[in-house]
Structure 1
Amino acid sequence: MSETLALFGGSKTVTSEFPWPIYDEGEAEAVAQIIRTGRWGNPDCGDVVEEFERAFADYCGARYAVSCVNGSVSLRLALIACGLKPGDEVIVPPYTFIATASTVVEANGVPVFVDIDPETYNLNPAAVEAAITPRTKAIIPVHFGGQACDMDALLDIARRHNLRVIEDAAHAHGAEYKGQKLGTLGDAGSFSFQSSKNLTSGEGGMVVTNDPELYRIMSSLRNVGRLPEGQWYDHFYPGCNYRLTPMQAVLLLRQLSRLNEQTKTRNDNGLLLNTLLSTIDGITPLSRGHGETVHCYHIYIFKYQSAYFKGISRNRFVEMLAAEGVPCFKGYPYPLYKQPLFQQKNFMCYALPETVDYTQVVCPVAEKACEEEAVWILQHGMLGTAEHMQQFAAAIREIQRVVLG
C-alpha cells in the first residue's frame, strides 16, 4: 500500500489545484471605486446594494430580494416575517448547517427534526407529514448540496396544513426545480454568500420572495425596523442593522455575471461523475431525477460502503482520497439534534417549552450519512474539467485496488 497511495508517500492522482474564489481585476477595481467615494456604508451608498438586489431577484425570477449580513440572518428575517410565534414548531432536516435550526430557536420557535431521504439527503416528505402537529407553523426544506428537494410534495403538504415554506437555498444558487430557480417556490428563499458558497463576497445573505407584505416586513427588520413612509428615527418593527455593505454588493454583482457558466460546468461535471462513479462497487452517487432540472453541486455527494474497501472506515477513506488530490470532506460528524445546543438545551432566553427533549430524537438515515456513509466533493473541485472528473474516479478506483490487494 505504501508504494502506491499518496497518503503513504506515493504520487497523487490529481495534481491540479482548484482555487476559490475566482476573480479578476474587475472585482478589485469595483471595490476600489467604492473605497474612493468615501461612502462605504449602506444607506450612504445604498444604490449599489439596491442594484444587486434587483439583479439577484431578476436572476432568480423573484419579485423582491432583501440583502443582509449573512444567510443565517436571512433565514431569521423570513421566519419572523412569516409570523412565527413563541412555541411554534418548524420542521427542519437534521443533515444541514446549524443555522437552519438555530435560527428557529432565535426566533423563539421549536425546531422539529425529521429524517432525510436516503436517495437525496433532502427532507423526506412522508416524514414531514408524519411530524405535523397543531403547533406546526412552517417547513424549512434545505436544498442540500444544491440538490432540489421534492418541492411538489412539500408544497402540497404545506397547502393542506396551512404551513409556510421557507426554502434554505444557501447551497443552491442557480439550481432549478422543473425549470424554476430554487428559492422562489415557497413563501421565501434564503441564500448565503459566505466564502465557500457558489456565489460569494466572503459573507452576506439574501432572502427572495414574491409576497409584497413579507418583503415589506423583511426589509424593515434588516434596517432597524424602519419603513419607507417613516422618518429616519421612526422604528416600526424590532429589527437590527443587518444591512449588506456596498463593497460586498459590487463584488457580488461581478460574481453574479459568472454564475450561469459556473453552474453549467458544475452540473455537467456532476452528471459525468455520476456515470463514472456508478461503475465502482461500493460507491453510490446521490440520485437525480426528482425534479431537479439544474443541480449546482455546491457539494457533490456519494455514499461509501466500507465492505467493498476491506472494512476501511469512511473517515480513513476520505483521508486517503484527499491525499490523492481530490478536494473532499467527510461532512458533518453527527446530525444537528446531537449538537450540544440541543442535547444540553442551552436555549438561554429563548422560549422552547420544557417538554422539548432532543435526546430522544433518532433519524437513522441522517445518522448513517454522518457516521459512515457520506463523502463530499467540494464545489470548487466541480469547476474542474472532464479530465479532472476522470481523475477523481481514478483515485477512488486506485484506493480500492490497493486496499483489496
Structure 2
Amino acid sequence: METLAFNGGSPVRTKPFPEWPIYGEQEERHLLEVLHSGKWGGIGRIKLPEFEEQFAAYHGASHAVTVVNGTIGITIALQAAGVQPGDEVIMPPYTFIATATSALMFGAIPVFADVEPDSLLLDPDRVEEAITPKTKAILTVHLAGAPSDMTRLREIADRHGIRLIEDSAQAVGAQWEGNGVGTIGDMGTFSFQSSKNINAGEGGIILTNNKALADQAWSLTNVGRIREGAWYQHEHIGWNLRMTEFQAAVLLGQMTRLDEQMAKRERNGKLLTELLDEIEGIRTIRRDPRITRHANHLYMFKLEPAITMDKSQIIRHINSEGIPVGYGYISLNRNEAVIREIEKWTGEHRIQPCPVSERASEKEVLWLHQNVLLAEEQDMYDIAKAIKKVTNSILAGRDHA
C-alpha cells in the first residue's frame, strides 16, 4: 500500500486544476464599450437591459431585475413577495449563511427544515411539519446546482397559500423537468459572486414570471421609483441596489461560454460519480431523475461511517495528494451568529434540530468546486485515485497521524 503524501509519500497529483474566472476578448470588448460610452450607471443603460433580457430568456422567465449581489436578491425577493418583519421563512440549514441573513436583514425569521439524506436538498416532508400561521414563504436552495423537488414544494406552497422563493445562487442554467430554475417558484434569485458559474466579481439577479412582483422588486432596488415614472417620482420606500454597466458587460461575455462549460462539467461530474461509486467508504449524492439539467457548481460526496477519521484530517490527507477538496457548510441551525440574531428579533433562544444537515456538516460531506470539473477527463481519474488511496489507508488502519 502506498504511503500517503501527508506522511512523506509521493502525491497522486502535482498539476494544478483550471483557474477561475475564465475570460477573454468578449469581456474586454464589452467593458471598453461601456467605458467609452460614459454610461456607467444611472439612466441610459445599454448592457444591463441586454443582459437582463438574455439571462431571463435563457431560463424561460418573463422578467429580470439585476441587483448588487445574490444576498440582496433574496432580501428583495422576500420583501416583494410580501414577507414582513416577524414573518417566518422556511429554509434548509445546509446552505451558505446568506440564505438566512437575507431574511434576518429585515427581521424575517428563518425556520430550518432538515434536508434529504441522499440529496442534501430541502426535504418537503420537513417543510410540511414546519409550517405555522406565521409562515409566509418557503425559501428553497438549489444546492451545488441541483434543483430542489420543485413539484412537491410548489404544491405545498400553493396548498398553504404561501410564497415559494428559489435561492438559485449556485444553479445558473439548471432545469427541473425541463423548466429553468428561478421560474417555478414565485421568484428566483441568482448570484454572480466570484466563485459562481458566471462571474462578475459581485452581482445578482431576480427572475419571475409575475409582472407585479417584478415591478415591486424593481422599485425596491431603484429607491422606490416606479417603472415609466419620473426620475424623482418615489412612490415606495426603496434603496439604491442597482448593478453597474461594467458588471453587465462582464456577464454578457461570461454567458457566451456557459453552455460549453455546463456540458463539460456534466460529463466530468458523471464520470467522477462512476469512479467514486467503486470506492469503498465513499457514497455519491443522489440525483433526482427529474433534474433535466444540473449546474454542477459543486461536486459533493459523502464519507461512509466506516471512515472513522476526523473529517478535517481526511481533507488534509486528500489535499496533500493534490486534490482541493473542501469541508463544506456549517449547519446554520447550529450557527451561533444566526441563533443570536433570531433571538434578537424574537426574544427566544431557538435551537432547531436538523440531524441530517448536522451529520453532513460534521462528519460526511466533502466538496470540489466547479472549476475542478472544467479539467480534463484524465484529471477525474486522478481525483478518484487520490480519494481511494486515502480511504484505503484509513480502512486498513494506517496513516492516522
TM range (shorter): over 0.9
- The equivalent residue for 1:320 is 317
Give, in angstroms, the shift of residue 287 of structure 1: 0.4
The corresponding residue for 1:69 is: 68
Q: Which residue of 1 aligns with 2:113?
A: 114
1:337 maps to 333
The equivalent of 2:30 in structure 1 is 30
Amino acid paired to 1:314: K
Tell me what 1:382 maps to: 373
Which piece of structure 1 moves more, 228-237 or 263-272? 228-237
CA positional deviation for 1:371 = 0.5
Secondary structure at the residue paired with 2:391? helix
Specify every segment of 5 or more residues in structure 1 that has no aligned partner in the other structure, as ranges: none
Q: 1:81, CA displacement in angstroms?
A: 0.6
Return the letter of the residue paired with 2:386: A
Q: Cα distance, 1:269 vs. partner?
A: 1.4
1:91–1:136 CA contact under 8 A, matched in 2:
yes
Q: 1:8 to 1:37 in 2, by over 3 A?
A: farther
Shift of 1:367: 0.5
1:283-322 aligned at under 5 Å gives the runs 283-305=282-304, 307-308=306-307, 311-322=308-319
Following TM superposition, the consecutive aligned residue runs of length 4 or more in structure 1 with deviations greater than 6 angstroms are none
Q: Secondary structure at the match of 1:166?
A: strand
Read off the aligned partner of 1:157 and give its amino acid letter: I
User: How far apart, CA to CA, are the structure 2 residues paired with 1:285 and 1:83?
Assistant: 38
Is 2:40 aligned against 1:48? no
Q: If the length of structure 2 is used for normalisation, what is the TM-score? A: 0.94
- 1:77 deviation in Å? 0.9
Q: CA deviation at 1:347?
A: 6.6
Task: Find the counterpart in structure 2 of residue 357 from structure 1.
Answer: 349
Q: CA deviation at 1:299?
A: 0.7
Task: Summarize the alignment of residues 1-400 of structure 1 with structure 2, pairs less than 5 Å apart.
Answer: 4-14=3-13, 15-44=15-44, 46-305=45-304, 307-308=306-307, 311-332=308-329, 334-345=330-341, 352-354=345-347, 356-358=348-350, 360-400=351-391
RMSD, aligned CA: 1.6
Q: Deviations over 1:127-169 (max 9, x none)?
A: 0001111111110110100111111111111111011000000
State whether residues 91 and 113 of structure 1, in contact with CA within 8 Å, keep that contact through their aligned partners in structure 2: yes
State the alpha-carbon separation in 2 of the partners of residues 322 and 30 from structure 1.
38
Letter in 2 for 1:130: E
Tell me the CA shift for residue 30 of structure 1: 2.0
Distance 1:372 1:35, change over 3 A: same
Deviates more, 1:337-346 or 1:360-369: 337-346
TM-score with structure 1 length normalisation? 0.94
- For structure 2, the residue ranges without an aligned partner over 5 or more in a row are none
Q: Secondary structure of 2:346's match?
A: coil
How far apart are 1:346 and its partner, in Å? Answer: 6.8
Over the matched positions of the two proteins, sequence identity in percent amounts to 42
